[in-house]
């Protein structure tokens, strides 16, 4: 399809993304997560069109709970609309509501093993 894949790589306390092709050798980072080799060029998230984001929990507004280290929060901190942020989860990870902090960037959509959700903005409540 002519698409290029990039994998997240930890650099200090941030994420950068390195090109990955099928068969490329991966090395485990300090958390035991496979990453592309150090020789690959690094790209910041604003250079990507779409990012698949792991999560622990999500709600209808696209809010997500991560693992708590803040890597994706810092990664998306200075971006507006690009890239598209797609959360990847199991249906049982859906929660009624997740509180949102000012630095949180909601997902544009979440894909689960049973459904796909697009972000719903919180409706204004009548007084």
What are the residue ranges spanned by the domains of the chain?
A: 1-43, 48-121
CATH code for residues 48-121: 3.40.50.10420
Please list the pLDDT of the chain residue by residue as tens digits (127 residues).
888 999 999 988 889 999 998 889 999 999 999 999 878 888 999 999 999 999 999 999 999 999 878 899 888 988 877 899 999 999 999 999 999 888 888 999 999 999 999 987 665 333 3
3-state helix, strand, coil in the chain (%, to 5): 10, 35, 55
Residue of 20, 15, 12, 13 whose CA lies nearest to 37: 20
């Amino acid at each position: 399809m002519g698409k290029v894949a990039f994998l997240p790589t930890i650099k200090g306390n941030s994420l950068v993304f390195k090109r990955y092709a099928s068969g490329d050798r991966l090395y485990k980072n300090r958390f035991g997560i496979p990453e592309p080799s150090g020789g690959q060029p690094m790209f910041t998230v604003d250079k990507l069109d779409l990012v698949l984001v792991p999560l622990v929990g999500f709600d209808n507004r696209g809010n997500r709970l991560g693992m708590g280290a803040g890597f994706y929060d810092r990664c998306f901190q200075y971006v507006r609309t690009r890239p598209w942020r797609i959360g990847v989860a199991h249906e049982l990870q859906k929660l009624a509501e997740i509180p949102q902090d000012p630095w949180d960037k909601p997902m544009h959509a979440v894909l689960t093993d049973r459904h796909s959700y697009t972000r719903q903005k919180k409706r204004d409540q009548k007084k």
